[in-house]
Amino acid sequence: MKSGTVLLNNNLTFIKSLPLFFLLLLSAFVSANDLSDQINGVADNVNGLRKQIDDLDKNVGQPLVAEKARHSDTDDLLKGAEKNLKGKYDSWSNQVTGPGGYSAQLQAHQAKIAPFNARTANYNSRCSGTFTSAAYVNACNQEKAQLDAEADAFQREFQQIKNLQNSLKQEKVDLDSYAKGLQDRRNDLSQATLNWASKMKKYNADRNDLIASYNQALAQLKQLGSQYENCVARLPNDATSESIKQNCGNIQFDNANPNLPPCRTEACIKTRILDRK
């Protein structure tokens, strides 16, 4: 596992304690052929499984971590937009029902209409018809001019209230449209999060299967390694590298000669003869 990768269920339990040579390829030679072949095959399997785990982490695990981070960033942006939208809805509501808002203005306007209508009715009852008194006619005309001016003012006031109503209606339409867009993005994020969870579940399952196979192969490699160590332990303390190669297999350490010389020394030949009895 590479350093810094955030992944679940990392159960590579033996990798740090395993001697280095268990992970190196072995080449078979004469009487050690079977053991070398077994260790070689298991070591190949261990290395192959480890590569599969690393590839899975790189190609699936790390992109899933990055995807989760993107989801988190998107969620933060949506939360900010939703908070801002709530503020706009509150402002809109205050313009409708708050002090001095649309409802208050309409109520105040309607409250002035009844007295005005009463005054208009009174005027009509007194000033309709033909009169001989010029002073009375002038008084009626002045009252009419005042009523007409008030009626014009009422009309302008009502138009302003109507304009405010239309503006608030449009603002509500725009806010609802924006809210729907945010909800659509929230729904998309929820679906993407569910998809991510499904992919993460599969990734963890696949990785756990590989780790189980890896640890099983690693245990088998340790067992075969113990057999190799026992083979070496049975040899004389002064056994040469050719003798070890002849009896126990050719272990390829880092920077070691991959082709040890054939068994020619007397000690090696004696060991080989003893091994065949």
Tens digits of per-residue pLDDT, 5-17?
Answer: 334 344 443 333 3
Asked whether the predicted pLDDT for residue 28 surpasses 50, the reply is no
Taking the C-alpha atoms of residue 251 and residue 136, their distance in angstroms, rounded to an integer, is 132
Pick from 229, 264, 267, 266: nearest CA to 249:
229
Q: Mean pLDDT throughout 238-259?
A: 55
3-state secondary structure of 251: strand
Cα(97)–Cα(105) distance, integer angstroms = 10
CA 263 vs CA 133, 210, 244, 266: distances in Å: 151, 41, 10, 9
In CATH, 20-234 is 1.10.10? no
Instruction: Give 26's strand partners.
Output: 251
Q: Rounded to an integer, what distance in angstroms lies between the CA atom of residue 10 and that of residue 255?
A: 31
Per-residue confidence (pLDDT) for residue 270, from 0 to 100: 41
Band of residue 220 on the pLDDT scale cut at 50, 70, 90 = confident
The stretch 63-68 carries a mean pLDDT of: 97
pLDDT at 30: 32
Average pLDDT, the chain: 80
Q: Rounded distance, CA 62 to CA 39, Å?
A: 32
DSSP code at position 1: -
Structure tokens at 165: 């109503």
DSSP symbols for 136-199: HHHHHHHHHHHHHHHHHHHHHHHHHHHHHHHHHHHHHHHHHHHHHHHHHHHHHHHHHHHHHHHH
112 pLDDT above the threshold of 70: yes
Q: What CA–CA distance (Å, rounded) separates 134 from 138?
A: 6
Instruction: Provide the pLDDT confidence category of residue 234 given band limits of 50, 70 and 90.
Output: low
* pLDDT > 60? residue 241: yes
By the 8 A CB rule, do 127 and 144 touch?
Answer: yes
Residue 33 clears pLDDT 80, i.e. is over it: no
pLDDT digits (tens, 9 = 90+) for 148-202: 999 999 999 999 999 999 999 999 999 999 999 999 999 999 999 999 999 999 9
Report the percent of the chain where pLDDT is more than 70: 69
Q: Where are the domains of the chain?
A: 20-234
Give the per-residue pLDDT at 38: 80
